[in-house]
């Protein structure tokens, strides 16, 4: 800290501004690195939820059936 006190004011202020800008950039990069995986997980969850909701509506009915015929022998 003593070094900064000995530096002229003309040099100290730009150095402090540079430190502030670099720290904001590093924080933004760290935040983006956290957001990318969360976005991917969130998209996969949303897609699975959408697919489950679509399958729940029952647009198609799966059924098994047997055809019974009456013949003359049954009477």
Q: How many domains in the chain?
A: 1
Residue 4 φ then ψ, to 5°? -65, -35
Residue 42 lies in a domain: yes
pLDDT at 38 over 80: yes
57 secondary structure, DSSP code: T
Residue 38 lies in a domain: yes
Residue 10 lies in a domain: no
Residue 39 lies in a domain: yes
Please, which residues have CB within 8 angstroms of residue 15's CB and are 6 or more apart in sequence?
4, 7
Residue 49 lies in a domain: yes
pLDDT at 21 over 70: yes
pLDDT at 2 over 70: no
Domain of residue 49 covers: 29-54
Q: How far apart are CA 44 and CA 37, in angstroms?
A: 11
Predicted structure pTM score: 0.45
């Amino acid at each position: 800290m003593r070094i900064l006190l000995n530096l002229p004011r003309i040099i100290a202020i730009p150095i402090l501004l540079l430190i502030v800008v670099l720290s904001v950039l590093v924080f933004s990069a760290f935040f983006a690195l956290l957001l990318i995986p969360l976005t991917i997980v969130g998209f996969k969850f949303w897609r699975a939820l959408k697919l489950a909701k679509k399958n729940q509506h029952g647009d198609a009915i799966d059924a098994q059936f047997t055809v019974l015929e009456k013949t003359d022998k049954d009477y």
